[in-house]
A and B are shown apart, each in its own frame.
Chain A
Amino acid sequence: MAGPRKASPRMPYDGVVVGAPVSIPYRRYSTNTAHWWVGRAVREVVQRAGLRSSDIDGFSLSSFTVGPDTAIGLTQHLGLSPRWLDHVPLGGASGVVALRRAARAVQCGDAELVVCVAGDTNQVDSFRRMLSTFSRFAQDAVYPYGSGGPNASFALITRNYMMRYGATREDFGKICVAQRDNALHFPHALMKKKLTLDEYLGARPISDPIHLFDCVMPCAGAEAFVVCKEDVARSLGLPAARLLATVERHNAFPDDPIQYRGGWAMDIGELYAMAAVTPDDVDFVQTYDDYPVICMMQMEDLGFCGKGEGPDFVRSHTLTADGSFPHNTSGGQLSVGQAGAAGGFLGLVETVRQLTGEALGATVPDAKVGLASGFGMINYDRGLASGAALLAGGQA
């Protein structure tokens, strides 16, 4: 197979930082609209950074449930007058993608202060309605097949991965149990009870081999952060993490009959080269965890082990915040909940918190470099969008 064309070296993100990591506590169901959740997140960013709304000259929105509005409608709704506007409807990849677009805008002076926000509501019937109309391929070729939603699609991916690489339910369970341990320290997590491996293994089947604790809980919530230059952050007195490198890829490896790798595998060399670090330098990783098999795929595709070595890698590490491979330190979506597009921000916002010393729960000791990755948009049979960002704490 032809590899990607040799790309010219990318311009570094000199002086671009991310701050004001905001998570609005999630709720299982909400009678409020997505607009309400987005508004709360923007307000908290403004308060945290000591801004007025008129200081926000860049605005990026990710949401599944804000329809019929898009980002433009929200400017009037929230009373913002940005000179740079973006709408990133990329689900689980929206955080990384929003960040990298905003970073270039800030770096080039198209905007000084970009607020990136993701928010979704979850009303009693909204998940079902979203599934049936998620995409044209979903409508034509997925939903009429048992209407199992992402559980069924990821069941096929998980089943195939287990057969191909010998992963077991115990391996996936170890990921979920460690995340729950992390979540017990995170005040916003919807899951408050300890999870044991036996409970994980004994849970009811949802779509074999997916069982209850492999699934995220859809909920309402919002996440946000600010992207600006380092001097702006300093003048605001805002703790911030430096952006080292990002990658983004869509519809990678379209000829794989079933997804067993994501777009990261195409771009991982570029990610580390741009950041001038290696996987060994990374102190913690926030993978996109809609299902544990995707976490394992990311451990491989992001270079922490070779393809197919994910199961052994998980077996040989402790995955809690204080472990040998700190992973999804707030508990991830599996334990905090999946608030629609905010799920694509969760890992990134937690990364900024860890690097700026603002962790709300379990803290990774001496964390200097963190990696957050995103994955999303099951258009037909696989997640199409992938992205990753490397960030560093402390001063340059």
Chain B
Amino acid sequence: MTEPLSRPKRKDPLKKTRIPLLPQGTRSRTALGLTAAAAEGRFQLQVCGDCAAVVYPPRDACPRCLSASLPFCDVDNRGTLLAETTIRTSTDVYFRERMPWRIGTVLLDAGPAIVAHLHGDLREGERTRLELKLDKSGQAIVIALPARDTPNMADDPQWRELTCDPKYRRVLVTDGRTAVGQAMAEALSQAGASIVFVGVADPWKPFPGEERLRKLERVEIVVLDLTDTISVNECAGEFAPRVDILVNTAEHVRTGGIVERKGLTVAREELEVRYLGLMRIAQAFGPVLRARGADGINSAAAFVNLVSVFALASWPAYGAFSATEAACLSAAQSLRAELRPGGVKVVNVFFGPLETEWYQAVPPPKLAPSALGRAVVQALRQGLEDVFVGDIAEDIRARLAVNPKALERELGS
């Protein structure tokens, strides 16, 4: 039985903040196939294209038939925990300060024996399901979970090292004026965040949904204008040490391609809100997040980017918008590398057209902001890095994987 977490006490400001340490993140190139699967929450292992053997650890030749065809494929994740050990001494500084640490040998029904981290509720001899997760170094590891969910299982310390669970964490939602920002605040409050700061530019100006937002439990509106460097820096100065999860909900959606736009005014606004807004936030909050990656139960955990799926492939009907989103995605990839030394995840949440005013003329399926909010909470609880929310986003993801050129033509017709 997992002991439920208790609400962390207010931190003694004189106490040293522990330097975030990382487990070893070096992997062979082939093993990065596991990292790709873990980033999206899939359980994939190499499966031999010739003899169908399931192969682990990752190899470059099949140990049964020597085939070089070893693609990563979805595999049944069930198995049995054959033996376990509790490690009490380690040569590694990251694990040393997290001892004791349990690992075990799991015989997967699909074939191979896998040495895995163990969830606290799993016992020797029991059935288990394996999941691939990203550890603090950003690389994939395997964790063995009880076959069925157990009470408070998300509070297990070895599991919580791998996730960004909002429970007892403090969140900043950067823009509460939008339906998405409000849905995000509500979802995170419901997920057990100890407080949700919601940024609003010029809060004296009323906005739709304001009344409801102000009534949400554990929600506090703070002054934050993403287009104003001074405002962002002031907000960070006051709140950055108390932000464990940052969700950038900045939005700027306008129709039109490159030629259609006729001038740069709207494009500049777009970049100001989205790309430069992201940079302002990252520069102001990033260093504090990165320094607080190992700061106890409410350590800094995640920087969440809401990004249009058209960042991955331009939708010419919203062509200039797509280009700005692509810039934000590229910046997020850089940010991911820059925050990794603190063990802080950058979570990119891709979505298609929303059920909001700016997508008025777009036919369904469209995504409700509340669904996006729930997906972000789920991604944080699962420790994912790339999330595709809704039918359109999943469809674009699938088509992109098969044939990017075909997708380019199809989106442009």
Contacts and interface: CB of A to CB of B under 8 A. Distances in A.
B43 to A, nearest CB: 15
Contacts of A377: none
Nearest to A381: B115
Interface stretch (B98-106, B198-206, B333-341, B368-376): B98-106
Contact of A207 (B24, B89, B137, B141): B89
Contacts of A123: none
A106 B27 CA distance: 43
Contact of A152 (B23, B94, B103): B103
Contacts of B90: 146-149
A165 interface: no
Given A144-B139, A156-B115, A258-B105, A205 B24 contact: no
Contacts of B114: 141
Contacts of A140: 27-28, 31, 57-58
Interface of B: 23-28, 31, 56-58, 63, 82-92, 94-95, 101-105, 107, 113-117, 124, 135, 137, 139, 141
In this complex, the interface size class of chain A, counting residues with CB under 8 Å from chain B, is 35 or more
A141 B85 contact: no
Nearest to B117: A145
A210 B86 CA distance: 10
Nearest to A256: B113
A347 to B, nearest CB: 26
A192 interface: no
Contacts of B116: 145
Given A140-B28, A143-B24, A146-B101, A152 B57 contact: no
Given A144-B23, A144-B24, A207 B87 contact: yes
Contacts of A128: 91-92
A149 B89 CA distance: 9
17 contacts: A132-B24, A139-B27, A140-B58, A144-B137, A144-B139, A148-B103, A151-B89, A156-B85, A156-B104, A163-B83, A204-B88, A205-B88, A207-B88, A208-B85, A258-B83, A258-B113, A381-B115
A348 interface: no
Contacts of A381: 105, 113, 115
Contact of B86 (A160, A163, A208): A208
Contact of A136 (B28, B84, B113): B28
A131 interface: yes
B24 A139 contact: yes
Interface centre among B23, B31, B86, B91 (most CB of A within 10 A): B91
A123 B105 CA distance: 32
Contacts of A163: 83
Interface string A117-137: 000000000011001110011
Given A146-B87, A147-B23, A151-B87, 14 more contacts: A128-B92, A131-B91, A139-B28, A140-B57, A142-B115, A143-B24, A146-B92, A146-B117, A148-B95, A155-B87, A156-B84, A207-B88, A257-B107, A257-B113
Contacts of A205: 86, 88
A209 B83 CA distance: 11
Contacts of B92: 128, 132, 143, 146-147
